[in-house]
Amino acid sequence: MTATTETFNSAALDDGSSIPALLSEQAGQTPWREKISPLTDADIARMEASAATVDSHLASGRPVYGLTHGFGPLVTYEAKSEAEQGSSLISHLGTAQGRPLDPETCRLVVWLRLNSMRKGFSAVSPEFWQRLADLWNEGFTPAIPRDGTVSASGDLQPLAHAALAFTGHGEAWTRSDDGRWSLAPADEVLAELGATPLAWPVREALAFVNGTGVSLAAAVLNHRSAVRLVRATALLTSRMTELLGGNPEHFEDGVGRARGQAGQLQVARWIRQDLPEGHVRDETRPLQEPYSLRCAPQVLGAVLDQLTMAGTVLGREAEGCTDNPLTFEGQVLHGGNFHAMPVGFASEQTGLALHMAAYLAERQLGLVVNPTTNGDLPIMLTPRAGRGCGLAGVQISATSFISRIRQLVTPASLTTLPTNGWNQDHVPMALNSANGVGEALELAWLTVGSLAVTLAQLAAITGRAGDATGVWAELAELSPPLDEDRPMAAEVRRAADLLHGHAGTLLAEGR
């Protein structure tokens, strides 16, 4: 799997761990089966050395944020008790609101924080770390509210709710034998696992909540979905070219080589490999198709290039340490690695890029339902023009989806506000961005589903549906010919799910 088609690969990290399979297409639908590997001797040595550095710093009478002094703007006040500080930290931050993030995101959040904490910069106890990891391996998954952080000292409020769940406060996700997720009180879920609620020491609490793990987890999974979206739209572009008899020259390798853009070359390859062997232009079609078809490699390729760059940033963030304070080569350093600007920008770039892929799909839909560009087929592809309306409703909804996507992917960094007294005077709003991008992706996939059912009707009205094989046969079955008008919302959703799954399979197989 290359960087072009994945957020990042599963190569080993410095400490012998690896990005879990739930970040790759090979994960399928079983992320709850992933396990965090136990600490190695090298992990333990690094973690103990980090803790010893802090102990030495304290013994010499030097201040350490959160241990000898308060949090945020209260850093000017001395703290008297490390034990009290741990409870105070996660309690006062328990102010997040909104519906919880999905279980896959919540599990990835905890994995990312544990991966950061094991690196030996965070002065955390190996024993406490292992208790958290053991609970994660047993399936314990905090339910993390999505709203209420500015992502500046990390995603403080959502991470605090994750930490609180380990104490038995709030809710956790549970998974039934048939694969369904539901919410339950966290203390009940811990009891079912035979686990005692944890009490957070301040060092571990600081390391856990002072990180970018929530915005990062959401951004990583959004990124994976966006790459699938590009692959699915390329696949539909190929099917559309086949059914209309479009000019395959638009996708020739030489076009991309002349320009030299990697994403364009990749998307053109995808389109070519999905075209039937020997496909030629129907002489009734124009030599140059409208831009939504002719320029698909250029548009989707640009999207893919942006996603590749964003994925590189997200990959570095996932492998790094975003705590404060941290230790490095015998020093205790107070810094700002928890500021989530890299994640925020990567998330916003994902949003802007996915919008363009979805917009291309909506414009391709418009091409197919318009007699001016579809080869004089009936408007809205209805075989009952006048009596029937065909795909009119599908197109109108797709147009609405694009408008809403544009609202959702407006960069959240343009809406930052200072907060936390004088302390957090510059904030990135990274989780707000990731949440908006996640909602935009839902609508983007519905746009892809709308185009897919449109192509199913194009195949039917041109007498090609019976020749369909593979994913196109499945699409023809879920969206049969429009002999009469019918509600199509469910077909659009099923088509979106079909293309989402198929795109994931193609990427996992390197196709």
Find out whether the peptide bond into 325 is cis, omega within 30 degrees of 0.
Answer: yes
What tens digit of pLDDT does each residue of 418-465 get? 998 888 889 999 999 999 999 999 999 999 999 999 999 999 999 999
Span 277-323, pLDDT tens digits: 999 999 999 999 999 999 999 999 999 999 999 999 999 999 999 99
Q: How far apart are CA 410 and CA 429, in angstroms?
A: 12
Q: Look up residue 197 and give its DSSP letter.
A: P
Spacing of C-alpha 229 from chain mean position? 12
- The model's confidence at residue 81, banded by pLDDT at 50, 70 and 90, is low
Token reading at 266: 């990749």
Helix boundaries (H) for 6-137: 41-59, 82-92, 103-117, 126-137
User: How far, CA to CA in Å, does 257 sit from each of 48, 272, 277, 445?
Assistant: 53, 15, 22, 30
Contact between 180 and 238 under an 8 Å Cβ cutoff? The reply is: no
Amino acid, single-letter form, for residue 371: P
- pLDDT digits over 482-495, tens only? 999 999 999 999 99
In the numeric block, the tokens 């910069």 are attached to 121
